[in-house]
Amino acid sequence: MFAMTDAAGGYLARMLKEARAPKGTAIRIVREEDKLKPKLDRPRAGDLAYDHAGTKVLLMDPKVSSMLETSILDVEQTQDGTKLIILNG
C-alpha cells in the first residue's frame, strides 16, 4: 500500500502555502512522458487523497496510484534543497 511520510506531508503542505494555493487545492502526482511530476490541482472523482495535519496535500488518480501501490513518498535533503523522492517497497 502507498504511504507518505510525515516529512513528505509537511513538505507538501509548505509547498501549497508558498504557492498560495487556493483552499481545496493539493499537489497531484501526474505521469508525463514516463516521468512522475507534481502539479497543483483540485480533487476529482475517483482520486485517492492523502492528508497532513488535517489538510489534503496529495492527490493521485487510480492509474498513478496503482503504479505506486508499494511505494513510499518521502523527502531528501540535497545541495539544492529539499526534494520529493519515491522509495519502492
Grid coordinates representing 60? 493521485
Give the total number of structural domains in the chain: 1
CATH code, 53: 2.60.300.12
The pLDDT assigned to 58 comes to 98
What pLDDT digit, counting tens, does each position of 6-24 carry? 999 999 999 999 999 999 9
And the C-alpha cell for 87? 522509495
- Residue 12, pLDDT score: 97
- Report pLDDT digits (tens) over 23-79: 999 999 999 988 999 999 999 999 999 999 999 999 999 999 999 999 999 999 999
Q: What is the DSSP string of 8-43?
A: HHHHHHHHHHHTTPPTT-EEEEEEETTEEEEEEE--
Closest CA to 7 of 88, 76, 65: 76
What residues pair up with 79 in beta bridges, in sequence order? none
- Give the pLDDT score at 34: 86
- Cβ(44)–Cβ(56) under 8 Å? no
Residue 27 domain boundaries = 3-88
The overall pTM is greater than 0.75: yes
